[in-house]
Amino acid sequence: MDLERAEREFAEARAACEQDPTSEVKLIVLRAASRRLETALELARLDALAAAGPDAPALARAVTRSQRGSLPALIILVRHGESEGNADHTLYRSKPDNLIELTDEGSAQARDAGRRVRAIVGPRRCAFVVSPFERTLQTARNLRLAFDTGQITRASIEPLIREQEFGNLQGDDFERFRREQQRVGRFWYRFPTGESGADVYSRTRAWWDGDVLRINTRPGVAPVDALIVVTHGLTIRLILMQLFGWSPNTFGAVWNADHCDCYVLRRDDASPGVSPYRLDDELGDAPRSSINLGVTFNDGAPPQTLLLNDYLSVPAPRTTNAELVKQLLAAQHGLDATTIDQIDFFAGRAGYGAGVPPPRKYR
């Protein structure tokens, strides 16, 4: 089937469903259009791979544009509500992490978040993807209470977006492991019998590439305009890391979301790449970030390590924007920006000051 025709029929069928979301006939037509579009996309992809002539790059770009256009308008990342483990950190010694439940406060937070998410998505058709841990399942159940009957077209449990595996927490060594993690770094440190942040990054990237980017091109499955993802604080940070290309150093500067915070990803077709999303901090929450920077001065003052708040506001690649960082440091710490000589973006990296010298080569 011609790709442009399949794309046009899919867009028309989706628009018809949006105008009359209760029509089963229009939903059936939309599912059929979705199947035809996926078939056309796959045929176009195979043609592009097989073609050796000058038209192959243009065809490949057309396939990418069509895939981008089929993505949900909104993806909302929601952290679970307050859990028993958040209220009592010793509970992990006696109860498996995956069975930790919400507190009463956490359930109330989830119900409030549900009303907030429903207001953001409006009447759009939605899908839920939920971590299999008990606290995320309970959060999702409370979120769903705010939605209209039939608005959530499907919900799935996805182990790839579960919490980081911390290993066996029944012993007395966990605090020692945490101290080691602070020295090595949360992205790199792997807990004995558990995972590192890098391990979680790999599986969240696999989930995004394999499921999110294909969510609306599966045969026989009705497309959705909003995807609500209920997961964990670290997992959300790593989803954003793979989406926006953060370095491990930038990842370490980003704080965990608060309980039931909502990060809204809005599709922006003007953005580059296969995942054209940007954070909309007017509709949702904005990730907080801060980083310790090494600062030397040209006026004879001793070097200092200074905390820079809102590090994510610095455009990427952040280490090339030293002049802007000087201005921000000056504003936050009451300094004269002209007296700042050099910025070491890695001065706060785990290990510094703990017997681990900084790299000797230029960075």
**Confidence label for 58 from pLDDT (cuts 50, 70 and 90):** low
pLDDT at 193 over 70: yes
Catalytic residue, candidates 80, 82, 158, 195: 80
**Mean pLDDT lowest for which of 13-27, 90-104, 179-193, 240-254?**
13-27
Q: How many CB atoms are closer than 10 A to CB 317?
A: 10
| 109 vs 94, more confident | 109
Helix 24-50 to helix 56-69 angle (10° resolution) is 160
CA dist 264 and 260 (Å) reads 12
Averaged over 170-177, what is the pLDDT? 70
The full set of domains in the chain, from first to last, is: 3-69 (no CATH), 74-279 (3.40.50.1240), 290-344 (no CATH)
**213 in Cβ contact with 41 (< 8 Å):** no
Short-list 262, 261, 240, CA closest to 251: 240
Which of 27-36, 60-69, 141-150, 174-183 has the highest average model confidence (pLDDT)?
141-150
Global pTM exceeds 0.85: no
Short-list 113, 89, 245, CA closest to 178: 89
CA dist 69 and 71 (Å) reads 6
Catalytic residue, candidates 7, 158, 163, 195: 163
CA dist 103 and 126 (Å) reads 27
Please report where in the chains the tokens 């960082």 appear, as a residue.
Answer: 325
Give, in degrees to the nearest 5, the angle at Cα 76 between 72 and 78.
Answer: 155
What phi and psi, each to the nearest 5 degrees, are found at residue 152?
A: -90, 105
Whole-number average pLDDT of the chain: 86
Helix 3-19 to helix 24-50 angle (10° resolution) is 160
Averaged over 206-219, what is the pLDDT? 89
CA dist 227 and 72 (Å) reads 7
Residue 313 is predicted with a pLDDT of 96
pLDDT at 363 over 50: no
Averaged over 203-228, what is the pLDDT? 90
Residue 319 is predicted with a pLDDT of 92
Distances from the Cα of 344 to the Cαs of 120, 297, 362, in angstroms?
40, 12, 11
Is 259 assigned a catalytic role? Answer: no
Residue 133 is predicted with a pLDDT of 97
